[in-house]
């Protein structure tokens, strides 16, 4: 594949994908995506007039709704240690799995 074709192909491929429940296993029942990746996915899928730059409540709500639509059991937004206010990203939990 020449460089022009490779570049054109890369430009048309999604940069990141929303996680699928099939990515979780019995051994590893959760999937993590950092906040930068989730913001990128949000901007690519939703295509808001003003692209999101922060991991806002609006982005988190969309993530929660999309996770439910895709069949995830739960989604959590852990804090970015040592912050008490900034989020690290999203943790998607396999359906029918309980975190205790």
- Domain-embedded: residue 36: yes
pLDDT, averaged across the chain = 89
Domain membership of residue 34 (yes or no) is yes
Q: What is the number of domains present in the chain?
A: 1
State which residues form the domain around 51.
20-93
- Let me know if residue 86 belongs to a domain: yes
Q: Could you report the per-residue pLDDT of 65-86, keeping only the tens digit for each?
A: 999 999 999 999 999 999 989 9
Whether residue 77 is contained in a domain is answered as yes
Stated pTM of the model: 0.82
For 30-79, the DSSP string reads EEEEEHHHHHHHHHHHH--SS---S--HHHHHHHHHHHHHHT-SEEE--B
| Cβ-contact 4, 33 below 8 angstroms | no
- Asked whether residue 78 is assigned to any structural domain, the reply reads yes
Does 55 reside within a domain? Answer: yes
Query: For a pLDDT cut of 90, what percent of the chain falls above it?
Result: 77
């Amino acid at each position: 594949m020449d460089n022009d074709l490779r570049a054109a192909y890369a430009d048309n491929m999604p940069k990141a994908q929303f996680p699928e429940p099939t990515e979780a296993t019995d051994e590893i029942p959760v999937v993590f995506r950092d906040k930068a990746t989730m913001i990128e996915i949000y901007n690519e899928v939703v295509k808001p007039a003003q692209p999101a730059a922060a991991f806002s409540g609006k982005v988190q709500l969309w993530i929660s709704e999309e996770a439910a639509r895709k069949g995830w059991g739960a989604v959590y937004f852990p804090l970015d240690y040592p912050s008490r206010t900034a989020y690290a990203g999203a943790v998607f939990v396999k359906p029918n799995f309980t975190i205790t």
